[in-house]
Structure 1
Amino acid sequence: MTKSIDIIHDEHRALAAMLSGIRTIAMGIEAGRLKPDFDLLSAMIEYIDKVPEKVHHPKEDQYLFAKLRLRSVEALPIIEHLEEEHRQGEARINALRASLAAYREAGPAGFAAFYEMLQIYLDQEWQHMNTEEKQIFPLARACLTAEDWAEIDAAFLANDNPWQGAAGQYAGLFSKIVNMAPAPVGLG
């Protein structure tokens, strides 16, 4: 297996942990077990925005998808769909932020709309990652050359630790989330 596939998979696991965490917290609010912590929810959305949207997806587009586009006709419609989802990422995260702001403003009456928007966002992210892992990865393994992988690996190795971002620039945000979030999501 190539290093970049391992890194992408690790980044997916890191994102999945954050997505599961925010879902767990929202479910706790819905069940009345947790009070809303808007700063925590904002920080989690910021992490989801900064790491996948700003670090992970651009490298998939620029390296993995670009190389696979040259090698596999079968991959083209899948790549086009995934790239469109990447282009919609900023609008989707902004809609999620806006729904959180509306919830904060409206109080408990605003929770249902936020929770619905969160569920839509989470479902789309899970589907997106599954498409990459179950459709793109096998095609990439079958079609890409050693030279292709060398270039892709170099780009993804620059991502460093998926929890912290390139050169640790997101370590503070991640630590903040872990320390604020209640167990079992975090240490708070």
Structure 2
Amino acid sequence: MRLHPITKLQHEHGNMWRVQVAIRNQLDLLEHGGVPDAVLLANAFYYMRKFPSAVHHPKEDLVFDRLVKIGAPVQDLVKRLHAQHVELYVLEEMLIELALQLPAGRSESRNRMLLLGRQYLATQAEHMQTEEQTVFPQARKHLRSRDWKAIREQAREIEDPMFDGKAPERFQYLYDYMMREVGDEELAAAHATVVPGRKPKSAPAAQARK
């Protein structure tokens, strides 16, 4: 059965949470003087840049724009969410490069990775909190069948390169790490700090391959 667009976005959020917990774990290691996995970090940020930012966010933008068009009371929130999308794109590009520089051991790269990495996770957390608690409920309340039909027709429906089916070689290492180190309890705890009382949704494909 075809998922409702909001349900699909929420499933994608669940997968994005797993990647963000993996990033957080590596940043914690870096902050406490450990040696983070630079390859894992680079692939995590690359995944976020190439799937959520290229496919997930544009689908959200279709919902946001439709809400603005019908005059739903989310105008200011939508402006902030659009701005955060752009901010996240810029941070992801910078963090990919910083992750690739980590093996050189320069303190400047480590410090900048920590600073921008924490900023990135905080922005993602606030962003998804606003969507989950405010904008998605407003979309379900105000948008009608014709709106959802238009959104479906415009949305790019492509497979998630890591969670839909078999992960390609580039993401297999990251996927294996998440299935091994990012358990449901850790995932729920991280998510609960942002959206209290609600567990993140994971796509069925991710669960089946665990």
- Name the TM tier (shorter chain): 0.7 to 0.9
> Once superposed, what is the RMSD of the aligned Cα atoms?
2.8
Counterpart amino acid of residue 38 in structure 2: F
CA distance in 1, matches of 2:32, 2:23: 14
SS in 2 for 1:67: helix
Structure 2 residues not aligned, in runs of 5+ = 184-210
User: In the TM superposition, what are the counterparts of 1:2-151 in structure 2 within 5 Å?
Assistant: 3-31=4-32, 35-61=35-61, 63-107=62-106, 110-151=109-150
Number of equivalenced pairs: 181
Aligned with 1:176: secondary structure? helix
Assess, with a 3 A threshold, how the Cα gap between structure 1 residues 183 and 107 changes in structure 2: closer, same or farther.
farther
Distance (whole Å) between structure 1 residues aligned to residue 175 and residue 45 of structure 2: 13
Tell me the distance in 1 between the aligned counterparts of 2:102 and 2:86: 26
- Partner of 2:188 in structure 1? none
Kept in 2: contact 1:96–1:114 (CA 8 A): yes
CA distance in 2, matches of 1:83, 1:161: 22
Q: Find the aligned partners of 2:11 and 2:179 in 1 and give their Cα distance.
A: 24
State, as a whole percentage, how many aligned pairs show the same letter.
25
Query: What is the Cα deviation at residue 57 of structure 1?
Result: 0.7
Tell me how far 1:162 sits from its aligned partner: 7.7
Per-residue deviation, 1:107: 4.0
Could you tell me how far 1:148 is from its partner in structure 2? 0.7
Change (3 A) 1:80 1:49: same
For 2:200, the equivalent position in structure 1 comes to none
Question: Could you tell me how far apart the structure 2 residues matched to 1:183 and 1:138 are?
Answer: 33
Structure 1 counterpart SS, 2:115: helix
Equivalent of 1:175 in 168, 172, 175: 172
**What CA distance in whole angstroms lies between the structure 2 residues aligned with 1:133 and 1:80?**
16
Q: Which runs of 5+ in 1 are unaligned?
A: none
Distance in 2 between the 1:59 and 1:134 partners?
18
Residues 179 and 73 (structure 1), Cα distance of their counterparts in 2 relative to 1, 3 Å cut: closer
**Under a length normalisation based on structure 1, what TM-score does the superposition of the two structures give?**
0.80
How many angstroms does 1:109 deviate by?
6.4
Which has a greater percent of helix?
A: 1
Q: 1:136 to 1:164 in 2, by over 3 A?
A: same
Check the 8 A contact 1:82/1:128 in 2, yes or no. yes
Tell me which amino acid in the other structure corresponds to 2:25: T
On the 8 A contact 1:4/1:156 being kept in 2, the answer is no
Residues of 2 paired with 1:108 and 1:88: CA distance?
25
CA change 1:46–1:59 in 2 (3 A) is: same
Q: Is the Cα–Cα contact under 8 Å of residues 7 and 156 in structure 1 kept in the other structure? A: no
TM-score by length of 2: 0.73
Q: Is the 8 A contact 2:162 2:168 kept in 1?
A: yes
Q: Which amino acid aligns with 2:171?
A: F
